[in-house]
Chain A
Amino acid sequence: MNEKIIFDCDEVDYLQELLNISFGSSAAIISDMLDTFVTLHIPKIELVHIDNIQGYINDSFDISQDYYVFAQQFRGDIEGEALFISKFESMKNLSNAVNEEGVNEDDIQGIIELSSELLNIVNPATIKRMATEINKNVFFSQPSVKSIKSNELVNNTNIINYQTIIVISTVLDFQTEDIEGKLYILLKENTIMLIKQAAADFFNLEEE
């Protein structure tokens, strides 16, 4: 299907609130795990059609940098993949937040493993909460992490298999460390239609 899926203002608002609740729940988990306070920022949500994704990526990322992509597929009533994309610096900060003793900058594998531990909780928690809010079930596959140049993001990930990509840009602002990342939620068309239906049901119940 090449038809562009469009979200109207109410549907975007519905999705935004759904994600606010989901991120709030993830932040609480991180806060408990690391005994720190995570300042929540309003996530910026953009819907990008696959035809425009390369241009969007070129505008969003520094072409000279390598990025770490933490990918995790999900299946069930809702289907898709979550990609958390961030620079090495943020992955390092994330590892420092996980390991109080600090990390060795040269230990790239160690940094990946430590940051993955946290992302393996944050990403599923966010998606699971989102699914629960619309009364759907979801299951997660094993995550993978790889280092990719921004101009290879489309070809080296599963982005190409999706029509509409929901990009959520946010900063996990820890008390001590700044961790910036973009969370790409790739959703199958049937899942996008489920979210649109959930929004329609919500607004049909009663107008403000």
Chain B
Amino acid sequence: MRILIVDDSKVARINVKRAIPKHMMEINIIDIARNGQEAIDKFKEEPYDLVFMDLTMPIKNGYEATKEIVALGKKVYIIIVTADIQNNGVKLAMESGADSVIEKPIDKNKLNRSLIEFFKRDKKE
């Protein structure tokens, strides 16, 4: 399984890595991207199964990057990880094609719930 963490902040990327359950870390390839465009470029090179996407980033934001990745038509589960927790922001994130939204700082229980959904869907397909 391939995982991509997209955030312009090193601190935020480390926080996502720390929140991912240990057993997942051991069996997965985890890459990073520092903005939405870099994420799209990396995804085009070789798709990822799971993407953790920030929203507010330079060059290309998370909404646009999510839309473009989803439009590529590959099987992917996108979890938005954002400090922007306004109701409308969450709605926009889901409309861009994301599968779930979790807020910063990451609550591990909420992340686990998103990961369970990801594994359920992965199994079905």
Residue in B closest to A11 when the chains form the complex, CB atoms: B11
A24 to B103, CA, bound (A): 9
B24 beta carbon closer than 8 Å to chain A = no
Main secondary structure of the interface of A (DSSP, over half): helix
B29 beta carbon closer than 8 Å to chain A = no
Report chain B residues within 8 Å CB of A203. 14
Report chain B residues within 8 Å CB of A42. 8, 56-58
A133 beta carbon closer than 8 Å to chain B = yes
Binds A, one of B39-47, B68-76, B83-91, B116-124: B83-91
Judging by beta carbons under 8 Å apart, are A13 and B9 in contact?
yes
Contact with A along B42-67 (1 / 0, CB 8 A): 00000000000001111000000000
Residue in A closest to B8 when the chains form the complex, CB atoms: A42
Contact with B along A1-23 (1 / 0, CB 8 A): 00000000010011011001101
Report chain B residues within 8 Å CB of A20. 9, 12, 56, 83, 104
Residue in A closest to B82 when the chains form the complex, CB atoms: A24
A208 beta carbon closer than 8 Å to chain B = yes
A17 to B103, CA, bound (A): 13
Judging by beta carbons under 8 Å apart, are B88 and A202 in contact?
no
Contact of B86 (CB < 8 Å), options: A13, A27, A202: A27
Report chain A residues within 8 Å CB of B10. 10, 13, 208
B105 beta carbon closer than 8 Å to chain A = yes
Task: Looking at the assembled complex, report how far the CB atom of B83 sits from the nearest CB atom of chain A, in whole angstroms.
Answer: 3
Report chain A residues within 8 Å CB of B105. 21, 133
Judging by beta carbons under 8 Å apart, are A208 and B13 in contact?
yes
- Whether A24 touches B11, Cβ cut-off 8 Å, given contacts A206-B18, A208-B17, is no
Contact of B85 (CB < 8 Å), options: A16, A17, A25, A133: A25
A27 to B83, CA, bound (A): 9
Contact of B14 (CB < 8 Å), options: A38, A41, A206: A206
Contact of B56 (CB < 8 Å), options: A28, A32, A40: A40
A 93-151 contacts with B by CB, 8 A: 133
- Whether A40 touches B88, Cβ cut-off 8 Å, given contacts A14-B11, A208-B10, A208-B14, is no
A191 beta carbon closer than 8 Å to chain B = no
A162 beta carbon closer than 8 Å to chain B = no
Residue in B closest to A22 when the chains form the complex, CB atoms: B83
Report chain B residues within 8 Å CB of A37. 86, 88-89
A21 to B103, CA, bound (A): 9
Q: Pull 13 A–B residue pairs with CB atoms less than 8 Å apart, ordered by A.
A: A13-B10, A14-B11, A20-B56, A23-B83, A24-B85, A27-B86, A28-B86, A31-B88, A32-B86, A202-B14, A203-B14, A206-B14, A208-B13
Residue positions of B touching A, CB distance < 8 A: 8-15, 17-18, 55-58, 82-89, 103-105
Supplied contacts A20-B104, A21-B105, 17 more A-B pairs, CB within 8 Å: A13-B11, A17-B9, A17-B12, A20-B83, A23-B83, A24-B84, A25-B83, A27-B85, A27-B86, A28-B84, A28-B85, A41-B56, A42-B58, A202-B14, A206-B14, A206-B18, A208-B13
